[in-house]
């Protein structure tokens, strides 16, 4: 373990891990809510569309809130067929209204018969599992085998079995599971351990991690995500993915200031 790298990571974590991070990040969308189910539902959807410019993601998040009439959980449980017509006009890059329609139906089924999003992810994870890999695989399979699955929507629910780094779902799980005094992440899911989280491989994270020698410069796949997380676990075995904030924040700041 390099003491110098740990020192740099800790400095950058302190630098970026504060509430000032929230307003310009997609996590600002679920931060508008207080009810657990509202947070996890809108958080899930905003995480799935979280690629591209952050302001564009936030604008699309505002549109999602509008479609769900300002109450994500109530909308998921109680929406009527006529309420779904607004979904069809939704577009964020390759995520469109058909995807949203499919996932709203899937989420309604999850909350009506599967115990909600937290239970649906965590039931596939054993307390002794090193990572949340089985949770990601199980969740994808559950969607794939559901009556709501669309072939085109599968690409938005990544799985390690496909070699994907599962960046957006790993980010979502970080939001739900991690908690510290900064208030960035929510920590509302208690059935998954922070030590089991896997670092999201955003391009900023990849570049910063490579610059520090934590990984070799290369593609962001599941193998690389596990490799980086293993390295970060040396610096904090209980909460390794806190360093996602350090790596992403430093990379995003450099882009803004370059």
Q: Which pLDDT does position 258 carry in this prediction? A: 36
Assess contact for 75 and 38: CB atoms under 8 A.
no
Q: Which pLDDT tens digits describe the chain residue by residue (258 residues)?
A: 689 999 999 999 999 999 999 999 999 999 999 999 999 999 999 999 998 889 999 999 999 999 999 999 999 999 988 888 889 999 999 999 999 999 999 999 999 999 999 999 999 999 999 999 999 999 999 999 999 999 999 999 999 998 999 999 999 999 999 999 999 999 999 999 999 999 999 999 999 999 999 998 778 899 999 999 999 999 999 999 999 999 999 988 665 443
Strand partners, 95: 92
User: How many folded domains does the chain comprise?
Assistant: 1
Q: Which pLDDT does position 252 carry in this prediction? A: 83
- Concatenated DSSP letters for 205-258? HHHHHHHTTSS-S---BHHHHHHHHHHHHHH-SS-GGGHHHHHHHHHHHHHHH-
Q: 207: which 2 tokens?
A: 């570049």
Q: Which domain holds residue 73?
A: 3-257
Strand partners, 82: none
Counting every residue written for the chain, the total comes to 258
Neighbours of 11 (CB within 10 A): 12
3-state helix, strand, coil in the chain (%, to 5): 65, 0, 35
């Amino acid at each position: 373990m390099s003491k110098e790298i740990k020192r740099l990571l800790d400095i950058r974590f302190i630098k970026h891990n504060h509430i000032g991070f929230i307003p310009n990040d997609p996590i600002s969308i679920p931060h508008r809510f207080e009810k657990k189910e509202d947070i996890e539902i809108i958080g899930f959807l905003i995480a799935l569309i979280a690629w591209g410019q952050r302001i564009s993601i936030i604008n699309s998040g505002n549109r999602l809130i509008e479609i769900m009439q300002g109450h994500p959980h109530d909308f998921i449980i109680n929406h009527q067929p006529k309420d779904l017509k607004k979904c069809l006009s939704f577009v964020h890059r390759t995520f469109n209204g058909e995807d949203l329609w499919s996932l709203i139906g899937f989420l309604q089924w999850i909350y009506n018969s599967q115990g909600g999003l937290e239970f649906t992810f965590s039931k596939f994870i054993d307390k002794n599992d090193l990572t949340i890999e089985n949770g990601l695989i199980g969740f994808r399979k559950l969607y794939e085998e559901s009556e709501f699955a669309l072939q085109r929507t599968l690409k938005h629910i990544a799985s390690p079995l496909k070699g994907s780094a599962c960046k957006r779902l790993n980010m979502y799980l970080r939001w739900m599971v991690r908690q510290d005094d900064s208030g960035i992440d929510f920590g509302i899911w208690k059935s998954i351990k922070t030590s089991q989280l896997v670092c999201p491989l955003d391009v900023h994270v990849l570049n910063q991690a490579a610059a520090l020698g934590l990984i070799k410069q290369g593609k962001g796949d599941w193998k690389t995500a596990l490799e980086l997380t293993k390295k970060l676990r040396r610096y904090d075995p209980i909460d390794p993915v806190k360093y996602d904030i350090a790596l992403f924040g430093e990379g995003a700041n450099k882009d803004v200031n370059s």
